[in-house]
Structure 1
Amino acid sequence: MTSPSLHGNVAEQARRTPHAIALSSGGYRLTYRELDERANRLAHRLGELGVSAETPVAVLMERSVDVVVAILAILKAGGCYLPLHSAYPLERMRSIMDHCAVPVLLVDEETRGRGVPQGAAAVVTVEGEKGLAPYPASDPGVPVEAAQLAYVIHTSGSTGVPKGVAVTHQEALGLALDSIWEGGRHERVLALAPYAFNVSTYELWVPLLHGGTIAVPPVGEIDVALVRRLIAEERITGVHLTAGLFRVLMEADPGCLAGVREVLTGGDVIAPAAVRQALDANAGLVVRAMYGATEVTLFSTHLPMTAPYRADGPVAVGRAMDGVRLHVLDEDLNEVAAGGVGELHISGRGLARGYFGRPDLTAERFVANPFGAPGERMYRTGDLVRLGGDGLLEVLGRADEQVKVSGFRVELAEVEAALARYPGIAQAAVAGVVSAAGDRRLVAYYVAAGEGFEAAGLRAHMAGLVPGFMMPSAFVAVAELPLTPNGKLDRRALPQPGPESGPAGGREPLNERQRTLCALFAEALEVGRVGIDDSFFDLGGQSLAAMRLISRIRSLFDTDVTITQFFDAPTVLGLDGLLGPAGPAPEERTEGERR
């Protein structure tokens, strides 16, 4: 690689292998030459709109090959891409765009039709080659240095608003060119993560900078059956699965990874049983535990695991990647002896420039490195870790009030700030709890300001302010919030949420199949009772629980109902209709028989 920029190296790859497939989606293929030329045309269009060095350009599109075209075009114009997720509430998107002073928003026809956040001076629809014909296919020739910003990805913020992590070309290149990607295991990568989240850095740049192929799933929710089909049809060799998704897939169908050479997993506690199931079912597979953060360009450590695998404790997250240095420090920034517990600080390759437009937060988390050269920084991760004598890093928990939900970082303070905006709430608190299935969920606690408090609108209120992964699964009224002796909130003393039920008066099941479905809903939601009209998601259901439920229903009823259909009809009554005419309820099978 000779170019200092991400897009420059992709252009070099296009010159070397112009006819190689860069993007695949269903029956659609885009070669490296076609990708490069289409991005060039859009880059010229962006240049006309004033995009230049480090101009943040927002992207709000459904999953498609056009997303990759849009991102490349932004970089070719000299700008940095600022991805937005279509599941974000409009208010959250508008706040992000306003803070970053975004002049241009790239959308597709579908997202534009649903309504887009206001704020950008120009909204451009990207739809294949439509509208790009007047622009030249030649490179716009905008000089871009390694130290320029490549992207700004927003994560949950402890101040109550999201914070944008600003990453340069140099750091993203450092990740994509790490030696762990050598050997061809990531030649064909399945892009499961939303492009607005940090895992997309791997899914985009590792295959493109190695001459590989990105396989783009169809629009819609991801479920076990779809993952199996895509891996087979697209001949996937490398894939990233969050720890929670990895566990669900291995519980339901460990053979779905057939043909995959390497699975990356992390973002939360990795289940040893899932690792064993994957390796036992797929000869030659490598499962690689990964650890990192958006602030250190996604991944900083790794640990490859192969068969035979028998875990005798928690899965470690491994050793440092190329150019990364790990420091386990006490409160006075002294190094902790091997085997001791301290907060992990990371220096070397991968450190982001900081938080976009927030020098205060940047100074708080990116601190001077007393073990490096003058001016060198290190990132305070907030993670409590242990570095063993064997050099393996083990993550033990958090030193602050951040939790991981479905693989995404959530600052509890941001969820609490949204909850406190609801009329009639005097005090609010949010805690992360682990369900019986092993998934982490958020529970909201509130103290009402007076009599007559109406809690029915709480869920709708939160849905307008936070994305789905930050939505509490339960809302618990308390007389007061517990405090520590020094007057701070004592999260450990918050009451555990008890079994709940659907809304009072919810209709009872009308036949045996509906009774079975109600029981499956209640089991997945960990609630006492579910009526046939109760929405799975209104009762706190999350995506992983929905995936587990649909996998169970597909097996039990021998049906091809998809999770996308379930998202459109998330009630027992709706699901019963999708299953067709009711016959006798299936006999419950044992766990071994289901497998």
Structure 2
Amino acid sequence: MTAYSIPTRFAEQVARTPEATAVLEVASGAALTYRELDRRANQLAQRLIGLGVGPEDRVPVLVERSTGLVVAFLAILKAGAVFLPIHDAYPADRRQWVVDRAGASVLLVDDAMRAAGVPTGVSVVSVDDPALAEESAAAPEVPIHPDQLAYVIHTSGSTGQPKAVGVTQREVVRLLLDPQWLVRHHRRRLLVLPHAFDISVFEIWMPLMHGGQLVLAPPGPVEAATLRQLITTHRITGMHLTAGLFRVIAEEAPETFAGLGEIVTGGDVIAATAVSRVLEVCPDVVVLATYGATEGTVMSTQVPLTRGMRIGDIVPLGGALTGVAVHVLDDRLAPVPAGVVGEIYLAGEGAARGYLGQADLTAARFVADPLGLPGARMYRTGDLARRSADGEIEFAGRVDSQVKINGFLVEPAEVEAALAGHPGLAQFVVLAREFGPGEKQLVGYAVSEAGGLDLDALRAHARTKLPEYMVPAVFVELDSLPLTANGKLDRAALPAPGFDETPTRRAPNAPKTSLQQALCGIFSSVLAVPEVGVYDSFFDLGGQSMQAMRLLSRIKAEIGVTVPISVLFDFPTVAELAAHISAMSGSAAQSPPAQPRVTSNTGGIG
């Protein structure tokens, strides 16, 4: 395959389809043709170059899902630099750390993010600045080599700080031009996931490399009803959802995917029952199950699942992408026999350059490939798997304590390190627990120095240090941490959080209307707690994005009311939600005034 840079490949597509729509922003209706996208990216690139941005400089991007986001990414690449997306769920301290660690001189924002406050110490350029139209629209005369970095994505790290994974343009283009993809499924792709998530590299650039159209869902959370409307209205042919979100929609509203050509899922264990349910209701849809790692350029394997195929109890990882090899090795780096668990190593093409600024960690995770050519590397994933008798690779857990929360890989040690030193906190341990089938959440176990620890204050402190998806859903105070006979922490003996240990728990307030009673029952069922009062917040009871999707589906099925997920964020208690539903429906049902509430942990959806 000819080695391309992303801008070179995109320029060829502009020449082929200059007037075709490249990007559509649903929220505003704004659209850019390939020619317009190219022009705007050239103008922003010229501004960046004028500010001193050069080859492989990191340029952080703090922009909502919009046409401006796509312009920003392309402009950075045209300037020879590296785009570094910042998750808008990051608290201010973490955003500042990312910018400082990158050594950035320029930060790209939009007007909405700028108004909310942005990191300091850098030149700030808004992609919404009208003055950008005065810049030259000529393509920058900057040589770009395929082995230059394209982007940096941060993943959770055990040292207490995120790891910055750098991926080259060569590997991105290789992924996008893999002949295994069916181009017809990329004619109109819908982006709904956060663009700081590495799958966005595939979702954004896949249609743009093949003359398709990228459709941008409105900023913020997206629920099943919205997805269904977007898919129908914009004739979406393909999209990606994390395995957890896919499972919830498959169980609650599988008809959401009707009309799609392909739904891509991965990022965690894919429920076979969810796949079967979608294929039963939407027989023309292809469910593309994928496996990969940020360090392996998004995806390394794929398997298309279609109606009529036999799907067992476990969805296999599938076959390797072109040029990629998937090894299952023992601790001596020898292949394990069929049926024996080993660790997954990703070899061949696709390996990232490494962890920027962390040479020791790069050397430990990107190791020599004993099965490859001299000098070849492979990435040690930390995932366990076994090969079946017919050669299929089946996921079998993790070597370490890392877990997937809402599609993000989280290192509990990073959460523990972020909260170390909080006043009054003697010890703190984080554990991932399953609160429902396949629905993992973080639980924080705290031991105070003198008793009476303020768990609400601890949660608030966590939000200033961590993105929402890394903030434990539940905090539990213990007198001491359980230890094994040899004095080590006994994680297996940590108690499952009980209802009374849920943070900010108030005494139950009995429902006073039939609507409140119905909502209390739905809250209780979805959150798997025995009792819910009208002033209990859904999120303070441990609710996160997956349960929120399920809750809204149950409300629609049992009460007959469609509630947007944004409403749940604004009215998270039964009392507030009932009052809102009554007001919207014109019902005479009344609810008591809502009590003050603590800021909720939203779980990082959308």
Task: Please indicate, yes or no, whether the TM-score normalized by the shorter chain is above 0.5.
Answer: yes
Partner of 1:109: 111
Matches of 1:97 and 1:487, distance apart in 2: 41
Counterparts of residues 363-382 of structure 1 (less than 5 Å): 363-382=363-382
Deviations 1:206-261, CA, capped at 9 Å, x for gaps? 11111111110012211000100111111111111111111111122211111111
Match of 2:539 among 537, 540, 545: 537
Work out whether residues 60 and 106 of structure 1, in 8 Å CA contact, stay in contact via their aligned partners in 2: yes
For each residue in 1:132-168, what CA deviation from the matched residue of structure 2 results, as whole angstroms up to 9, or x when unmatched? 1211111012111011000000011111111110000
In the aligned structure 1, how far is the partner of 2:486 from the partner of 2:361? Answer: 25
CA contact (8 A) 1:459 1:538 kept: no
Give the equivalent residue in structure 2 for 1:556.
Answer: 558
Cα shift at 1:86: 0.9
Identity score, percent: 50
Helix, strand or coil for the counterpart of 1:435? Answer: strand
Measured against aligned partners, the alpha-carbon deviations of 1:306-330 in whole angstroms (never above 9, x if no partner) come to 1124533211111111111111111
8 Å Cα contact 1:366/1:378 also seen in 2: yes
What CA distance in whole angstroms lies between the structure 2 residues aligned with 1:176 and 1:533?
49
- Secondary structure of 1:229's counterpart equals helix
Q: What is the rounded CA distance, in whole Å, between the counterparts of 1:108 and 1:298 in structure 2?
A: 26
1:96 maps to 98
Matches of residues 50-449 of structure 1 in structure 2 within 5 Å? 50-119=52-121, 121-127=122-128, 130-449=130-449
Q: Is the 8 A contact 2:290 2:300 kept in 1?
A: yes
Partner residue in 1 for 2:603: none
Q: Quote the residue 1:39 is aligned against.
A: 41
Distance 2:342 2:157 in 1: 23
TM-score relative to the length of structure 2 = 0.93
Matches within 5 A, 1:510-525: 510-525=512-527
Secondary structure at the residue paired with 2:381?
strand
Q: Is the 8 A contact 1:40 1:140 kept in 2?
A: yes
**Relative to 1, partners in 2 of residues 1:297 and 1:230: Cα closer, same or farther, differing over 3 Å?**
same
Bigger Cα displacement from structure 2, 488-497 vs 260-269: 488-497
Deviations 1:37-94 (A, max 9, x none): 0000000000011111000000001111110000000000111000001111111111
- In the alignment, the residues of structure 1 paired with residue 10 and residue 534 of structure 2 have an alpha-carbon distance, to the nearest angstrom, of 52
Match of 2:433, as an amino acid? V
Displacement of 1:3 after TM fit? 6.5
Q: Could you tell me how far apart the structure 2 residues matched to 1:205 and 1:97 are? A: 24
Matched, 1:462 2:462: yes
Q: Secondary structure at the match of 1:167?
A: strand
Residue 590 (structure 1) aligns with: none
CA distance in 2: counterparts of 1:139 and 1:380, whole angstroms: 39
Deviation, 1:530, is 2.7
Residues paired across the two proteins, number: 583
- Compared CA separation, residues 487 and 187, structure 1 to 2 (3 A): farther
What amino acid does structure 1 have at the position aligned with 2:261?
A: R
Kindly indicate whether the alpha-carbon contact (under 8 Å) linking 1:276 and 1:309 is maintained by their aligned counterparts in 2. no
In 1, distance between residues paired with 2:559 and 2:38?
Answer: 47
SS of the equivalent of 1:317 reads coil
Query: Match of 1:483, as an amino acid?
Result: L
- Kept after mapping to 2: 8 A contact 1:188/1:235: yes
Q: Give the conservation status (yes or no) of the 8 Å contact 2:40–2:133.
A: no
Matches of 2:47 and 2:547 in 1, distance apart? 43
Structure 2 counterpart SS, 1:461: helix
Match of 2:597 in 1: none
**1:390 shift after superposition:** 2.1
Letter in 1 for 2:202: Y
SS in 2 for 1:184: helix
| Cα distance in structure 2, aligned partners of 1:71 and 1:176 | 16
Paired AA for residue 49 in structure 2: G
Does the aligned pair in 1 maintain the 2:552–2:562 contact within 8 Å?
no
The Cα shift of 1:436 comes to: 2.6
Residues of 1 paired with 2:529 and 2:100: CA distance? 40
Amino acid at match of 2:123: A
Offset, 1:505: 3.8
The alpha-carbon deviation at position 421 of structure 1 amounts to 3.2
Give per-residue Cα distances to partners, 1:489-541, cap 9 Å, x unaligned.
33222211223366234543232211221222222222333332332222221
Is the 1:157–1:414 Cα contact (8 Å) retained in structure 2?
Answer: yes
Asked if the contact 1:513/1:583 (under 8 Å) is kept, the reply is no
CA RMSD of aligned residues (A): 1.8
For residues 531 and 264 of structure 2, the distance between their equivalents in structure 1, rounded to whole angstroms, comes to 37
CA gap of 1:102–1:430, structure 2 versus 1, over 3 A, is: same
- Whether contact under 8 Å (1:319, 1:391) holds in the other structure is no
Using the alignment, how far apart are the partners of 2:272 and 2:197 within structure 1? 25
Following TM superposition, by how much is the alpha carbon of 1:335 offset from its aligned partner in structure 2, in angstroms?
Answer: 1.6
Separation in 2, partners of 1:510, 1:414: 44
> In structure 1, how many angstroms separate the alpha carbons of the residues matched to 2:406 and 2:451?
36
Q: Which residue of 2 aligns with 1:21?
A: 21
Query: Contact 2:30–2:67 at 8 Å: present in 1 too?
Result: no
How far residue 554 of structure 1 moved from its aligned partner, in angstroms, is 2.4
Secondary structure (helix, strand or coil) at the match of 1:363 reads: helix
Contact 1:243 1:267 in 2 (8 A): yes
Unaligned runs of 5+ in 2: 591-606
TM-score (norm 1): 0.95
Counterpart-to-counterpart distance in 2, 1:180 and 1:565: 41
Report if aligned partners of 1:3, 1:9 keep a CA contact under 8 Å in 2.
Answer: no
- Contact 1:4-1:144 within 8 A present in 2 as well: no
2:291 touches 2:301 (CA, 8 Å); kept in 1? yes
Structure 2 residue identity aligned to 1:153: I
Q: Displacement, 1:356?
A: 1.2
Deviates more, 1:21-30 or 1:260-269: 21-30
Report if aligned partners of 1:443, 1:473 keep a CA contact under 8 Å in 2.
Answer: yes
Distance in 1, matches of 2:201 and 2:452, equals 49
For residues 100 and 401 of structure 2, the distance between their equivalents in structure 1, rounded to whole angstroms, comes to 27
Distance 1:451 1:29 in 2: 58
Equivalent AA in structure 1 for residue 74 of structure 2: L
Equivalent-residue separation in structure 2 for 1:487 and 1:412 (angstroms): 21
Distance 1:2 1:14 in 2: 18
> Corresponding residue for 2:548?
546
1:567 — aligned with what?
569
